[in-house]
């Protein structure tokens, strides 16, 4: 158990961007919101998984919507409160704690703002160990935990509670409601007991992202090689280093799909990397051979500053280093690969662990 203060938020937001694999929203807004919430309501208690009682009720919270909207239509701040209370009435009991459903990106910090406002603790874990585009893509699904009753609220005070037969349906309905709400909403879902959580959660992710963020910050201050420091901190592998020479994008069913081509530099001179993304980075090929794919994490960092680059910000001429980071073991099962492996995203290939290729 420890307390999270504004300085912890700074590191969490920065480290979370690395696990965002190109998606996950704008870490700057997340950082500011977290700091504001703690300054107004006090520090947040972070509990480790083993500090949670088996019969506790934990409900993950998150922001849902388009990253572009979230940097324009900033939240009111209390969107989820009404929805949270509605959920409590529905379930007939008080919620013990909240947590992150998705540690990659700003949803590492969103639950912090809920925890601060409601003065409940946050659990040191998440549902992905990274970011993914669709709501059902959390480890809870693999353990048969339902995302519903699912609460969603907007800045105007509207809220809704959904019940569905499976988590894929929740993604479908909640996506429509989010669009009607203006493509920015707050959600609470996957209500779970402490006992269940200990089975399905990816543990210690808040501590991990905070340490990644601190590592980046300290490396920058001491003018060390930030990219290399990050790589070590996440246990990742350098897949490629180069300059972006082409970026193509299109929107399909509300998802930003695209690819980027990188020309190699230094030891990768004369090699070409093709990156494919769908909000998050999904697949990387070097000279036609696939070298890393989802569910492993693919993150692009600015070669000079180590700053993670979102897929929306990829542009011609950027000098980037591509890191491949092994995904959590829960994704490596047949069920995990069915949910978030290459074939779900339309790539008819078998997943090969990144550590096998680069370890």
Partner 1 sequence: MRIGVDVGGTNTDAALMDGNRVVGWFKTPTTPDVTTGITKAVRTVLEETKVPSDEIKAVMIGTTHFTNAVVERKRLMETAAIRLGLPATECLPPMVDWPADLRDTIGHHKYLVHGGHEFDGREISPLDEKEIRDVAKDIKSKGIRAVAISAVFSPVNSSFEDRAAEIVQDEIPDVSISLSHEIGRMGILERENAAILNACLGDLAQAIVQSLRKALKEMKIDAPFYLSQNDGTLMSADYAEKYPVLTFTSGPTNSMRGAAFLSGVKDAMVVDLGGTTSDVGMLLRGFPREASVAVEISGVRTNFRMPDVYSFGLGGGSIVTEDPLKIGPQSVGYELTTKGLAFGGDVLTATDLAVAGGLVDIGDASAVKSLDARLVRQALDEIQSMVETAVDQMKTSAEPIPLILVGGGTILVSRQVEGTSEMVKPEHFPVANAIGAAIAQVGGETDRVFAMAELSRDDALAQAKQEASDKAISAGADEKTITIVDVEEVPLAYLPSNAVRIRVKAVGDLALS
Integer Cα distance of 107 and 112 in angstroms: 9
Instruction: Please report how close the Cβ of residue 305 comes to partner 1 at its closest, in angstroms.
Output: 8
Instruction: Please report how close the Cβ of residue 257 comes to partner 1 at its closest, in angstroms.
Output: 8
Integer Cα distance of 148 and 125 in angstroms: 20
DSSP 3-state percent helix, strand, coil across the chain (nearest 5): 40, 30, 35
Instruction: Give the nearer residue to partner 1 in terms of CB position, either 243 or 274.
Output: 243
Short-list 62, 143, 75, CA closest to 110: 62
Q: Across the strands, what pairs with 126? A: 202
Which tokens in the block code for residue 278?
């769908």
Instruction: Give the nearer residue to partner 1 in terms of CB position, either 77 or 353.
Output: 77
Instruction: Please report how close the Cβ of residue 319 comes to partner 1 at its closest, in angstroms.
Output: 6
Where do contacts with partner 1 occur on this chain (CB under 8 A)? 23, 28-29, 32-33, 36-37, 65-69, 71-77, 113, 155-157, 179, 182-184, 243-245, 249-251, 254-256, 258, 263, 265, 269-270, 279, 302-305, 307, 309, 311-313, 315-319
Instruction: Please report how close the Cβ of residue 200 comes to partner 1 at its closest, in angstroms.
Output: 26
Instruction: Please report how close the Cβ of residue 96 comes to partner 1 at its closest, in angstroms.
Output: 24
Instruction: Please report how close the Cβ of residue 137 comes to partner 1 at its closest, in angstroms.
Output: 14
- Supply φ then ψ for residue 181, to 5 degrees: -80, 0
Neighbours of 104 (CB within 10 A): 30
Instruction: Give the nearer residue to partner 1 in terms of CB position, either 64 or 290.
Output: 64
Instruction: Give the nearer residue to partner 1 in terms of CB position, either 133 or 295.
Output: 133
Instruction: Give the nearer residue to partner 1 in terms of CB position, either 36 or 211.
Output: 36
Which tokens in the block code for residue 203?
């543990």
Count each helix (H run) and each strand (E run) in the chain, helices first: 12, 18
Instruction: Give the nearer residue to partner 1 in terms of CB position, either 141 or 311.
Output: 311
Instruction: Give the nearer residue to partner 1 in terms of CB position, either 211 or 272.
Output: 272
> What stretches of the chain show up as alpha helix (H) in DSSP?
6-19, 27-41, 67-70, 79-91, 110-118, 139-142, 167-180, 194-200, 205-221, 226-234, 334-340, 354-358
Integer Cα distance of 51 and 162 in angstroms: 30
Instruction: Please report how close the Cβ of residue 344 comes to partner 1 at its closest, in angstroms.
Output: 18
8 A C-beta contact, residue 186 and residue 79: yes
């Amino acid at each position: 158990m420890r307390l999270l203060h504004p300085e912890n938020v700074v590191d969490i937001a920065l480290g979370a961007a690395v696990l965002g694999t190109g998606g996950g929203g704008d870490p700057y807004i997340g950082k500011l919101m977290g700091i504001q919430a703690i300054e107004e309501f006090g520090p947040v208690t972070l509990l480790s998984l083993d500090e949670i009682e088996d019969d506790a009720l934990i409900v993950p919270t998150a922001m849902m919507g388009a990253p572009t909207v979230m940097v324009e239509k900033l939240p009111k701040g209390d969107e989820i409160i009404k929805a949270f209370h509605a959920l409590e009435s529905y379930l007939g009991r008080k919620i013990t704690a909240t947590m992150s459903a998705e540690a990659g990106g700003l949803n590492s910090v969103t639950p912090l703002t809920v925890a601060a406002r409601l003065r409940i603790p946050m659990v040191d874990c998440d549902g992905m160990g990274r970011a993914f585009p669709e709501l059902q893509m959390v480890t809870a699904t693999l353990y048969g935990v339902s995302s519903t009753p699912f609460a969603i609220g907007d800045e105007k005070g509207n809220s809704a509670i959904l019940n569905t037969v499976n988590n894929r349906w929740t993604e479908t309905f909640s996506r429509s409601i989010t669009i009607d709400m203006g493509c920015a909403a707050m959600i609470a879902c996957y209500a779970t007991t402490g006992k269940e959580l200990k089975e399905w959660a990816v543990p210690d992710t808040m501590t991990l992202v905070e340490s990644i963020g601190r590592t980046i910050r300290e490396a920058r201050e001491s003018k060390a090689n930030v990219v290399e420091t990050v790589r070590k901190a996440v246990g990742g592998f350098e897949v490629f280093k180069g300059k972006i020479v082409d970026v193509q994008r299109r929107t399909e069913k509300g998802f930003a799909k695209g690819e980027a081509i990188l020309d190699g530099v230094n030891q990768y001179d004369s090699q070409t990397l093709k990156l494919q993304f769908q909000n998050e980075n999904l697949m990387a090929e070097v000279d036609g051979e696939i070298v890393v794919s989802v569910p492993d994490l693919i993150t692009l960092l600015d070669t000079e500053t180590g700053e993670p680059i979102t897929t929306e910000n990829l542009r011609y001429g950027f000098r980037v280093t591509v890191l491949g980071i092994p995904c959590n073991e829960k994704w490596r099962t047949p069920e995990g690969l069915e949910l978030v492996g290459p074939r779900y995203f339309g790539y008819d290939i078998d997943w090969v662990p990144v550590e096998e290729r680069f370890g």
